[in-house]
Structure 1
Amino acid sequence: MADSLPKTYDDLPDKRRYWPATPNSADEGLGMLRLLTPEIVANAARTQIQTGERVCLNWDLEKLNPPGFGRKPFAHHVKWVSEGHAFDDEYHFNPQQSSQWDGLRHHNAPAPTPDDPNRRVFYGGTTSTEILDPSSTRIGIAHWAKKGIAGRGVLIDYASYVQRTKGVTVNALTRHTVSLDDVLTIAKECNITFEPGDILFLRVGLPTTWDNMTDEEKVKYSQQETPNHAGLEQSERVVRFLWDQHFAAVAGDAVSFEVYPPVEKEWDLHHFLLAGWGLPIGEMFDLEGLKESVELWERIPMTVHPEVYLKYTTRNSFTYTNGDYEGVIHSQQDQ
């Protein structure tokens, strides 16, 4: 699959739109997850999986609480389904409140035409009318759910790196910008060579930031019309880097993955990645336990979580599992 992609960013006929699949097809719905072929996943498992230690990547469902952007907060109700015999649990929540993948229906991008200079479309040219049509499954996340997301991942622990090298504690709810230079430096320190189909994880420390805030500060954050979020820089260099590596997905513990509001609006990563290339963006993953476990796993056993978990391999690598599918993640760690 990777062999069929334009090799470099410069090879893209349209830098902002790579829509190779047939409209309304399963391949279109997968986007860049098409890179996670059985061969890619099997190679990761065969070459990396060694032990069975696990750690959960899911943040608590009720965080952020209260959520930003005017979203409704999480609610959990326990009810008798058979009085005196059995309970049911009911959950009401917006997936954007906590750990989640931004699907291809989440964010569109400008696609002006002479007749409609304000035109905006989603990946593949999908329109908002199609998305609001309950009978339409075009680019729906069900295409991802059929097999899950699994593959080799690389963890760039930026929060630990800047604390160790620059004495900086990242406030993940500011416009703290993660530079591409720092990402590349961390990868070099860890002897990470990116491979086609990798899943890139970036840690900026959001759970720590949130847990250290007062209730008043959390309410103030939720009431902001335009909240600030730390994340990856927007630039042509970053866009070029993300394409040239042929990542299957990117993710992190930041609210927006990229710095928000965008510092360089021309290079808004949600426009390029979601609407342009079909590259999933994971947000608000809890990477704190992972960071600690990577440092200590040889001495301290990990906690098992059934939803999404990791299986450790070596001190610098561990496997990412979603459902019954396994892959591998390499980690940057404190020196």
Structure 2
Amino acid sequence: MLDESGNWGRWGPSDERGTLNLLTPDVVVAAARHVREGRVLSLSLPIRGATSSPAPTTVPHLKGRPLPQHFMSVDGGDYAAGTRAIGAGLKMSDDALVVTPHGTTTHMDALCHMWSGDALYNGHPAGRVRSYGAGRCGIEKAGPVVGRGVLFDIPRLRGVEHLAATDRIGPDDLEECGVEIRPGDIAVIRTGWPLTWQDGPDAYWAGQPGLSGAGGRWLAERDVALVASDNAAIGGLNEHQLADEDLADDLHMIFLWRHGVHLAEMLWLEELAETGRTDFLFIAAPLKIEGGTASPINPIAVL
């Protein structure tokens, strides 16, 4: 049940990649021409977690979400899984990592993450989404993302360190940034909201700024390949960490379900913003988690 025009059927009835299909070889080659300095920046928050450490409280995350858990072993002294003898006099450490991406770390949403009725993006049956994974539109269908990134720095536009929790970014804000946007671009939206974590979790959990429904439609109409932001949900959140929009204006429904636009959330954009660059080569590769609704990513900006 599609209540407005989108990209269903645009790349055929079996399509599970959506607007990532716009990242053709020619588009990737053109994006590479925006590398002028050779400087490489990570746009990811760190995965910092352990059961016996305060480390998780030092990284922004949504309240109540299962935090990343990182276990280290040294020759099996405190965590035996995966350790083995590797020779006289040699020692080895090993890792075990448990991550639930949504709301806890920099990640990319799959097209199976949200839907309405009984169909995923492009009409694929939602009944194929089960506890063992999604049979359609899982994150493994996305593949590597390489394209031209364009930064919409809304705090710089407004002359503030970060947006207020109640701020919503509309088409006028995006246009005023003066950024040229082309089909197949990766739209990167800076709100500055991760900076509030330095004032404590309660400040970060007071709500979040983000795109409005109209702002989301503005980007979708311009055929962006992916939308990324430094907030936790692309759209705004209230003090209960929930979206206030109705179904027609819900950003995940506009992008993931109607238009097949993957989303990357919880980026760290401060170093990128300091460069003043609004165009760059954007690279991100989700893990091949078969049937996954999301994957941790380490997005890269090459200037």
Structure-1-length-normalised TM-score: 0.69
Within 5 Å, give how 1:219-258 maps onto structure 2: 221=205, 228-235=207-214, 238-258=215-235
Q: Which residue of 2 aligns with 1:9?
A: none
Distance in 2 of aligned mates of 1:120 and 1:177: 30
Q: Return the offset for 1:321.
A: 2.8
- SS of the residue corresponding to residue 147 of structure 2 reads coil
Equivalent runs, 1:24-39 vs 2, <5 Å:
25=14, 28-39=15-26
Deviations, residues 213-259 of structure 1 (Å, cap 9, x unaligned):
225x26x93xxxxx622101123xx3542232111111110111112
Query: 2:41, 2:301 within 8 Å by CA — same for their partners in 1?
Result: no
Letter in 1 for 2:181: F
2-structure distance, mates of 1:178, 1:29: 28
Distance, in Å, in 1 between the alignment partners of 2:183 and 2:5 is 20
Q: Per-residue displacement from partner, 1:297-333 (whole Å, max 9, x unpaired)?
A: xxxxxxxxxxxxxxxxxx554322336xx99889xxx
Relative to structure 1, the CA distance from residue 36 to residue 162 in structure 2 (aligned partners, 3 Å threshold; closer, same or farther) is same
Q: TM-score, normalised by structure 2?
A: 0.76
What's 1:176 paired with?
167
Equivalents in 2 of 1:268, 1:77: separation in Å? 37
Offset at 1:15?
A: 2.1
Q: 1:138 to 1:157 in 2, by over 3 A?
A: same
Equivalent residue for 1:68? 62
CA shift, 1:130, in A, is: 0.3
The answer as to whether partners of 1:233 and 1:263 remain within 8 angstroms in 2 is no
Specify the alignment match of 1:209 in structure 2.
Answer: 196
Residue identity over aligned pairs, in percent, reads: 27
Seen in structure 2, the aligned counterparts of structure 1 residues 276 and 196 have a Cα distance that, compared at 3 Å, is same
Partner of 1:318: 280
Aligned to 1:50: 36
CA 1:34–1:248: 2 relative to 1, 3 Å: same
**SS across alignment from 1:29:** coil
In 2, the alpha carbon distance for the partners of 1:185 and 1:154 equals 14
1:87 has 2:93 as partner: yes
d(CA) in 2 for partners of 1:61, 1:16 = 38
Output the CA distance in 1 between the equivalents of 2:38 and 2:12.
Answer: 40
Query: What corresponds to 1:162 in structure 2?
Result: 158
Q: In the alignment, what sits opposite 1:270?
A: 252
Deviation of 1:264 after TM superposition, in Å, equals: 4.1
Deviates most, 48-57 or 129-138: 129-138
The residue matched to 1:243 in structure 2 has which SS? Answer: helix
Whether contact under 8 Å (1:44, 1:328) holds in the other structure is no
**Shift of residue 120 of structure 1?**
4.5
The residue type equivalent to 1:209 in the other structure is T
Report SS of the residue matched to 1:150.
strand
RMSD of equivalent CA atoms: 2.9
Q: Unaligned stretches of 5+ in structure 1?
A: 1-12, 110-118, 222-226, 296-314, 331-335
Asked if the contact 2:146/2:281 (under 8 Å) is kept, the reply is no
**SS in structure 1 opposite 2:16?**
helix
Q: CA deviation at 1:106?
A: 1.0
Partner of 1:141: 139
Q: Please list the CA deviations of residues 12-58 of structure 1 after superposition, one character each: whole Å capped at 9, or x if unmatched.
A: x96254311445x4xx221110000011101221x322331111111
Whole-angstrom CA distance in 2 between matches of 1:94 and 1:107: 16
The whole-number CA distance in structure 1 between the counterparts of 2:62 and 2:133 is 30
Per the TM alignment, residue 175 of structure 1 is displaced from its structure 2 partner at its CA by 2.4
- Runs of 5+ unmatched residues, structure 2: 49-55, 76-82, 286-298
Number of residue pairs aligned between Structure 1 and Structure 2: 262
